[in-house]
Amino acid sequence: MAHSFHTDLETRIAANADQLYWDELPPTLVRNALAAGEGDLAQGGALAVTTGVYTGRSVKDKFIVRDGLTEDRVWWDNNQPLAPEKFEILLADMLAATMGKTLHAQHLLAGADPTHQMRVSVFTETSWHALFIRNLLIRQETPGGPSDVTILHLPSFTADPARHGTRTGTVIALDMQRKLVLIGGTAYAGEIKKSVFSLFNFHAPLANVLPMHCSANIGPEGDVALFFGLSGTGKTTLSNDPARPLIGDDEHGWTETGVFNLEGGCYAKTVKLSATAEPEIFAATQRFGTVLENLKLDAALMPLYDDISLTENTRAAYPLETLPQVAPGGVGGTPKTVVFLTADAFGVLPPIARLNPEQAAFHFLSGYTAKVAGTERGITEPVATFSACFGAPFMPLHPTVYGRLLEERLEHSGARVYLINTGWTGGGYGVGQRIDIATTRRLLSAALSGELDSAEMRIEPLFGMEVPLRVEGVHKRALDPRANWADVDAYDAMAAKLQKMFADNYRKFDAVREAAE
């Protein structure tokens, strides 16, 4: 029945379009994009494009159809409802808007585990968007076949709030029951990628799969590690390790037997990217077929990684196989180590701490990091950011659903859980200094190797976490943030302030958790 709906929809789109090109390969897509003036060819062969008004996700313009399937399941405090009848009008109008257009479509897969795989068809107006999503989802050797998911992406379409029930002329609307996504009024390509993740996040728990906004890699002994973290915490940087093949960069599922990548590519931030700090990602940005999004070029067509005049959210989209070390098949066994990354701009949290299962659940639901002064207009001092499950905007269900699944997986796997602070020490932002990447990498290595299993620990008084007293290659003082502050009373005051922020944020989960117990 579901396949029939998507097949009929594809047939209608094909009948409307003046030209519909299926499953074009990168050389064709790049050639057509350049011919249509959609972008420029950068040094090395990457396609550099701009996205216009929207250079990031339009969170307030995303909707979920409120129907019999979603009514009692969706976390409506975090997601905006759209009436089914409004969605039907929107669908009819967007289908009418395909009349006479040239469209590009790709048959792709989401989910490296065949048991939990979605067959995705994406229709879009431009060659570069088709190349983008081809880079990021899993490519089939023989494209085609019936689809489970259809995405219709029309940046030129303007929604009518009165007619379609939207907020503005921009819309990202998800019908969870029919697995149908309609995107209009925005050319920011991340909307396509994240709509697939949102669909997966809704349906995966119903199949006893934990969906995760995290990176994953695998060690020489087959030991899998997961890296959770919000933007700017080092998730992509730390998971890209020449000694540990990458399973995936951003979105995964955790079953009772192991983990699998949802995607077939990476969508890496490129602001201040350097060949020294992140050589693999840097090289990927200069490969043919990579899409550079809102990254300016100089006169010689070299990317200007430090130029944020369009946005700080500059990105590169490239296939996984662009990287030198990738886990075959995009799958791995049961995780041995789980890492929560945070960039604490208050300078309070230790550079590494071991969490027990209860603490792990607390920090997973908290999803903490801190924005620093200057990153957004009006921010003059560090601001705490809490994003449940390290990805609240993409979580259709209540965070406690994902939290319970994580607790089950941790109990079953016996995985070690660490909180790693990649933020500030010796004081908050503007006073202290950023924890250097060499120290973070050394502490991460100690966690992944099992070196910390036998390390002597102290109990950190803020949250009761275990902090190692000594790690070879790391100065002892670096492990104790309080000892690095010139004014320990100021540290204690800031620590108490941060602890209260955590408590106030977590209080909203208490009633739901108690009702479930």
470 a catalytic residue: no
Question: For residue 91, what are its two tokens?
Answer: 């669908």
Catalytic residue among 66, 178, 194, 252: 194
Catalytic residue among 6, 51, 57, 354: 57
Residue 450: left if φ>0, alpha if ψ -120 to 50, beta else—which one?
left
Catalytic residue among 250, 314, 334, 398: 250
The backbone torsions φ and ψ at residue 503, rounded to the nearest 5 degrees and listed phi first, read: -65, -45
CA 93/CA 98 separation, integer angstroms: 9
| Residues contacting 189, CB < 8 A, separation 6+ | 51, 128, 129, 132, 133, 291, 293, 317
What is the per-residue pLDDT for 515? 45
> Which DSSP symbol is given to 435?
P
Query: 37-40 long-range CB contacts below 8 Å, 24 or more apart?
Result: 38/126, 38/127, 38/128, 39/128, 40/297, 40/301
500 a catalytic residue: no
What is the per-residue pLDDT for 513? 52
Query: pLDDT tens across 108-161, in order?
Result: 999 999 999 999 999 999 999 999 999 999 999 888 888 999 999 999 999 999
Catalytic residue among 6, 235, 354, 371: 235
Taking CA 311 as the corner, what is the angle to CA 213 and CA 251, rounded to the nearest 5 degrees? 10
218: number of Cβ within 10 Å:
23
Contact 131, 289 (CB under 8 A): yes
DSSP codes of every residue in 208-252: T-EEEEEEEEE-TTS-EEEEEE-TTSSHHHHH-BTTB-EEESSEE
250 a catalytic residue: yes
297: number of Cβ within 10 Å:
18
Query: pLDDT tens across 51-84, in order?
Result: 999 999 999 999 999 999 999 999 999 999 999 9
DSSP codes of every residue in 343-394: --TTS-S-SEEEE-HHHHHHHHHH-EEEE-TTSSTT--S-EEEE-GGG-GGG
User: Helix 357-366 to helix 399-413 angle, to the nearest 10 degrees?
Assistant: 150
pLDDT lower than 50: segments of the chain: 1, 373-379, 514-517
What is the per-residue pLDDT for 376? 44
Catalytic residue among 193, 315, 354, 442: 315
Report CA dihedral (82, 86, 88, 90) to the nearest 10 degrees.
Answer: -100
The backbone torsions φ and ψ at residue 122, rounded to the nearest 5 degrees and listed phi first, read: -120, 125
231 a catalytic residue: yes
Catalytic residue among 58, 236, 334, 425: 236
Alpha helices in 414-476 (DSSP H): 437-449
Catalytic residue among 104, 139, 178, 213: 213
CA 186/CA 86 separation, integer angstroms: 19
194 a catalytic residue: yes
CA 108/CA 121 separation, integer angstroms: 6
Give whole-number Cα distances, 417 to 218, 337, 441, 474, in Å: 16, 6, 16, 20
| Residues contacting 430, CB < 8 A, separation 6+ | 373, 381
- What are the structural domains of the chain? 2-38+56-207 (3.40.449.10), 210-254+334-516 (3.90.228.20)
CA 340/CA 229 separation, integer angstroms: 6
235 a catalytic residue: yes
Half-sphere exposure of 313 (CA within 13 A, CB side): 14
Q: Is 411 exposed, middle or buried (0-12, 13-18, 19+ CB in 10 A)?
A: exposed
Contact 359, 463 (CB under 8 A): yes
Catalytic residue among 158, 231, 311, 445: 231
315 a catalytic residue: yes
What is the per-residue pLDDT for 2? 66
